[in-house]
Structure 1
Amino acid sequence: MNNKLLKNIFLFSFVALITTAGLAQKKKIEKAQQEFDKFAYIDAREIYLKIVEDGYVSAQIYKNLGDTYYWNSDYDNAAKWYQKAIAEFPTEIEAPYYYRAAQSLKSLKKYEESDELMKLYTAIGGDGIIIQNFKNDPEYLKSIAFEKKGYVLEKIAVNTEFSDFGPAYYQDKLVFASSSRESEGSAIYEWNEQPFLDLFVADMDAEGKISNASPLSGEINTRYHESSAVFTKDGTTVYFTRNNFIDGKKGKDKNKTIRLKLYRATKSGDNFWTNIVELPFNSKEYSVAHPALSVDEKRLYFSSDMPGTLGMSDLWYVDIEGDNVYSEPVNMGATINTEARESFPFISEANNLYYSSDGRAGLGGFDIYVTPLNNLGVSSGKVTNLGEPANSSQDDFGFIIQESKKIGYLSSNRDGSKGSIDDDIYRVQEECAITITGVVTDIDTGELLPGAEVSLLDENNQLVEQVTVGEDASYSFSALCESQYSIRGTKQRYNPNEKVVSTPDKTGTIDVPLPLKLNDPCPPNDLGCRLKLQPIYFDFDKSNIRPDAAIELEKIAAAMRLYPELVLKIESHTDSRGNDKYNEALSDRRAKSTLEYLINDRGIARERFTEAVGYGEYQLVNECSNGVKCSEEKHQLNRRSMFLIQN
Structure 2
Amino acid sequence: MRYINIFFLIIAVLVGACSGSKKLTQAKKSFSIGEYTRAAELYKKAYAKEKNRYYKGEYAWYMGESYRITNKPLKAASAYSKAVRYEYPEREAQFYMAESYRKAGKLDKAIPEYEEYLEKVPADIRAQRGLASCMMLQKEPQPNRYIIAKEKDLNSKYSDYSPTYAGTEFDYVVFASMRVEGKSKRKNRITGQGTSSIFYSKKNAKGAWEDPAPFEEPINNPKFDDGSPFVSHDGKELFFTRCKFDNEKPTGAEVVSCKRQGGQWGEPINASLALDSTLLDSTVIAHPALSADGETLYFVSDMEGGYGGKDIWKAEKAGEGQWGEPINMGSAINTPGNEMFPFIRKDGILYFSSDTHIGFGGLDLFKAELNEEGNWDVTNMGEPINSIGDDFGIVFQGKDEVGLFSSSRGSTKGIDNIYSFVLPKLNFYLTGLITNNNEEIVTGSYLRLIGSDGTTMKVKSPSDGKFKVKLKPNTDYVFLVAAEGYLNKKVKFSTSGEVNDKSFEYNIVMEKPLQKVN
TM-score, with normalisation over the residues of structure 2? 0.50
Q: What do the CA deviations read for 1:114-155 (whole angstroms, capped 9, x no partner)? A: xxxxxxxxxxxxxxxxxxxxxxxxxxxxxxxxxxx7311111
Partner of 2:481 in structure 1? none
Partner of 1:553 in structure 2? none
**Would you say 1:355 and 2:348 are equivalent positions?**
no
Partner of 1:210 in structure 2? 209
- In 2, the alpha carbon distance for the partners of 1:209 and 1:354 equals 27
Residue 506 (structure 1) shift: 3.2
Matches within 5 A, 1:540-555: none
Aligned residues: 280
Could you tell me whether the CA contact under 8 Å between 1:397 and 1:410 is conserved in 2?
Answer: yes
- In 2, the alpha carbon distance for the partners of 1:395 and 1:278 equals 28
Matches within 5 A, 1:635-646: none
Could you tell me whether the CA contact under 8 Å between 1:226 and 1:243 is conserved in 2?
Answer: yes
Partner of 2:260 in structure 1? 267
Partner of 1:430 in structure 2? 423
Partner of 1:549 in structure 2? none
The change in CA–CA distance for 1:339 and 1:374 in structure 2 (over 3 A counts) is same
Partner of 1:190 in structure 2? 189
Partner of 2:227 in structure 1? 227
Residue 301 (structure 1) shift: 0.2
Q: What do the CA deviations read for 1:298-317 (whole angstroms, capped 9, x no partner)? A: 00000110111211000001
Partner of 1:160 in structure 2? 156
Residue 294 (structure 1) shift: 1.2
- In 1, the alpha carbon distance for the partners of 2:328 and 2:206 equals 36
Alignment-mate amino acid for residue 361 of structure 1: I
Partner of 2:7 in structure 1? none
**Would you say 1:278 and 2:274 are equivalent positions?**
no
Matches within 5 A, 1:365-380: 365-373=362-370, 380=375
- In 2, the alpha carbon distance for the partners of 1:182 and 1:173 equals 22
Question: What SS class does the counterpart of residue 403 from structure 2 fall into?
Answer: strand
Residue 268 (structure 1) shift: 3.4
- In 2, the alpha carbon distance for the partners of 1:287 and 1:183 equals 31
Alignment-mate amino acid for residue 388 of structure 1: E
- In 1, the alpha carbon distance for the partners of 2:205 and 2:344 equals 21
Alignment-mate amino acid for residue 427 of structure 1: S
Could you tell me whether the CA contact under 8 Å between 2:370 and 2:377 is conserved in 1?
Answer: no
- In 2, the alpha carbon distance for the partners of 1:423 and 1:392 equals 13
Residue 217 (structure 1) shift: 3.3
Question: What SS class does the counterpart of residue 275 from structure 1 fall into?
Answer: coil
The change in CA–CA distance for 1:363 and 1:309 in structure 2 (over 3 A counts) is same
Residue 423 (structure 1) shift: 0.3
The change in CA–CA distance for 1:307 and 1:204 in structure 2 (over 3 A counts) is farther
Could you tell me whether the CA contact under 8 Å between 1:432 and 1:507 is conserved in 2?
Answer: no
Matches within 5 A, 1:340-351: 340-351=337-348
Could you tell me whether the CA contact under 8 Å between 1:208 and 1:408 is conserved in 2?
Answer: no
Partner of 1:199 in structure 2? 198
The change in CA–CA distance for 1:187 and 1:258 in structure 2 (over 3 A counts) is farther
Could you tell me whether the CA contact under 8 Å between 1:353 and 1:373 is conserved in 2?
Answer: no
- In 2, the alpha carbon distance for the partners of 1:169 and 1:400 equals 8
Could you tell me whether the CA contact under 8 Å between 2:371 and 2:377 is conserved in 1?
Answer: no
Alignment-mate amino acid for residue 264 of structure 1: S
- Aligned Cα root-mean-square deviation (Å): 3.1
Residue 209 (structure 1) shift: 5.0
The change in CA–CA distance for 1:159 and 1:341 in structure 2 (over 3 A counts) is same
Partner of 1:388 in structure 2? 383
Q: What do the CA deviations read for 1:572-607 (whole angstroms, capped 9, x no partner)? A: xxxxxxxxxxxxxxxxxxxxxxxxxxxxxxxxxxxx
- In 2, the alpha carbon distance for the partners of 1:332 and 1:174 equals 28
- In 1, the alpha carbon distance for the partners of 2:327 and 2:204 equals 37
The change in CA–CA distance for 1:368 and 1:287 in structure 2 (over 3 A counts) is same
Alignment-mate amino acid for residue 323 of structure 1: E
Partner of 1:409 in structure 2? 404
Q: 1:312 aligns with which of 299, 303, 309?
A: 309
Alignment-mate amino acid for residue 271 of structure 2: L
Partner of 2:135 in structure 1? none
- In 1, the alpha carbon distance for the partners of 2:334 and 2:164 equals 23
Q: Percent identity?
A: 33
Alignment-mate amino acid for residue 311 of structure 1: G
The change in CA–CA distance for 1:251 and 1:265 in structure 2 (over 3 A counts) is farther
- In 1, the alpha carbon distance for the partners of 2:268 and 2:323 equals 17
Unmatched 5+ residue regions in structure 2?
A: 1-143, 275-279, 427-472, 474-496, 502-518
- In 2, the alpha carbon distance for the partners of 1:358 and 1:173 equals 30
The change in CA–CA distance for 1:324 and 1:281 in structure 2 (over 3 A counts) is same
Matches within 5 A, 1:582-621: none
The change in CA–CA distance for 1:234 and 1:313 in structure 2 (over 3 A counts) is same
Partner of 1:331 in structure 2? 328
Partner of 1:169 in structure 2? 165
Question: What SS class does the counterpart of residue 384 from structure 1 fall into?
Answer: strand
TM-score, with normalisation over the residues of structure 1? 0.40
Higher Rg: 1
Residue 203 (structure 1) shift: 1.0
Partner of 1:290 in structure 2? 287
Could you tell me whether the CA contact under 8 Å between 1:313 and 1:340 is conserved in 2?
Answer: yes
Partner of 1:237 in structure 2? 237
Stretch deviating more after TM superposition (195-204 or 182-191): 182-191
Residue 295 (structure 1) shift: 2.1
Residue 372 (structure 1) shift: 2.2
- In 2, the alpha carbon distance for the partners of 1:284 and 1:277 equals 15
- In 2, the alpha carbon distance for the partners of 1:406 and 1:390 equals 12
Residue 188 (structure 1) shift: 2.0
The change in CA–CA distance for 1:405 and 1:184 in structure 2 (over 3 A counts) is farther
